[in-house]
A and B are shown apart, each in its own frame.
Chain A
């Protein structure tokens, strides 16, 4: 089979999208052979200094290579403050699904508190038979569970509501999403110990930060999969992510995953805190606002290529990105290279987990011409990610929160990638 006919036989959608098996044995050999033949030969190999002298000594806590300094969060803080705002994960510089803890996005309402774990307390009270106070030592003795879960700020991707597409990259637009392995104690265990009164229908969670960030959620979530996390990616939760205790409500908007958790109060109804009334509600064109929009809907973004990752010449590329849903597992991700005219099914990298991030991958034979790359996720409930026009038709463009519209990246002839509306 010639290279061209093999390539054609693997086409899954227009403008060069190929089945990912072209990267596997056989396919890769056929496609790769052409690339080597067309390129210049490699330079003679040097014996570098580090191959000849002993390297650095051990140290207590490892750091990334000094050559990776650009792999960093970016942030913005409210006027007159240093830590009231958010920082963003550089997804264009990462791969896989787990966000390194030091790169996990942050949203803080009054900086990062310096909490002494020896004096930190968790109070469980309200509509319970006996209010209880737990120390961190107490909680460390409880049976624990681990799960990989994404946390996404409800305001993530809100910039795509702007009338004109911003000159912005995946970090600036979609960086308020991260994914970690969280380990901790099921909230239901502590509630059972305190004894749930029958009138208890809602739960208030409150942080020990100076803003006392607080949110209400239905007790069904507390008895389902809510977790009080002590560990993030194997180590204690980072201060910026809630040390020493963080509430995890898998799939629910980030703000509800209260950091620096100090108090759980069972109530008959929602407390109507500032962050569940004046914020985190979705204003519709009618002037009414949607309230208590908790799980984040199915969504995906292409991280490679994306703005800042210039495509270097026609040839074979891997398109990859992240997909997630607050309602369960990702069922499929489709990719388009022609602005949504045709779609091909991407390969889903295992493991595909509920309320977690799934990486998708697809092969792309770029011909060097204009292309508009898009991805569209469908979750296991059958919900498909909407286009920009569809979401705006549903909710208008003033909602800020829960923006899960399809992202379009234009690849220009010179290989530059830009945020566009298509």
Chain B
């Protein structure tokens, strides 16, 4: 093939590869597709609107029993803290110049974060071992201790995202120079 013929024949093809979405196929493409069912065990994050919350439910009373057995040694009776983080109280302590008391009740903006974090990370020495019912129960108990839900309430995928956290409006999205 003469050079002129090569340019005429091949150049448009090269251009096409460089400019079309097909260019992405230059990637190694070694990832293996996985079905939604097969990734469920890892897809444990919960969105603030409740996306990802599993079936199941827990009451304040059920949560109290789980807390006493699995949480209290580190977080104190009724979540009062010591030796590790305090989980209750502190509402009203955020403004001013005194040390703030940041807890679920005073600081956390979304109740869904409680389910997400407790399920993935707690108890520290055996995370991801609580059942969904147990997590819902502990969440209900902690919300009740903070005066956010009543003693008779049940937490589940429908009720948890609707919980109004006291500090829900306490955050400002950062913008540099403002």
Taking a contact as CB atoms under 8 Å apart, the answer to whether B31 and A138 are in contact is yes
A192 at the interface (CB under 8 A from B): yes
Taking a contact as CB atoms under 8 Å apart, the answer to whether A78 and B108 are in contact is no
Q: How far is the CA of A396 from the CA of B112 in the complex (A)?
A: 30
A206 at the interface (CB under 8 A from B): yes
Q: How far is the CA of A262 from the CA of B44 in the complex (A)?
A: 12
Residues of chain A within 8 A of B127, CB atoms compared = 110, 210-212
Which residues of A are at the interface with B, using a C-beta cutoff of 8 A?
A: 78-81, 84, 109-110, 123-125, 130-134, 138-139, 141-143, 189-190, 192-194, 204, 206, 210-212, 214, 262-263, 265, 267, 269-274, 277-278, 281-295, 327, 396-398
Closest to A211 in B: B121
Name 21 interchain pairs, CB-CB below 8 A, sorted by A.
Answer: A125-B34, A131-B33, A139-B30, A142-B28, A210-B124, A262-B42, A263-B43, A267-B47, A269-B48, A271-B48, A271-B116, A272-B48, A273-B116, A277-B110, A285-B95, A286-B95, A289-B171, A289-B172, A290-B173, A293-B174, A396-B97
- Distance of B40 from chain A, by nearest CB (Å): 11
B99 at the interface (CB under 8 A from A): yes
Residues of chain A within 8 A of B33, CB atoms compared = 130-133
Taking a contact as CB atoms under 8 Å apart, the answer to whether B44 and A272 are in contact is no
Closest to A137 in B: B30
Option from B42, B99, B117, B174 in Cβ contact (under 8 Å) with A292: B174
- Distance of B147 from chain A, by nearest CB (Å): 18
Q: Shortest 8 CB-CB distances between A and B: which pairs?
A: A132-B31, A287-B95, A212-B120, A79-B83, A287-B94, A138-B30, A274-B117, A291-B171
Number of B residues near A (Cβ < 8 Å) is 48
Taking a contact as CB atoms under 8 Å apart, the answer to whether A123 and B34 are in contact is yes
Q: A131-B39, A214-B120, A286-B95 are in contact. Are A277 and B109 (CB under 8 A)?
A: yes
Q: How far is the CA of A211 from the CA of B128 in the complex (A)?
A: 9
- Distance of A75 from chain B, by nearest CB (Å): 17
B70 at the interface (CB under 8 A from A): no
Taking a contact as CB atoms under 8 Å apart, the answer to whether B116 and A80 are in contact is no
Closest to B178 in A: A290
> Digit string of B62-102 for contact with A (CB within 8 Å is 1, else 0)?
00000000000010000000011000000000111101101
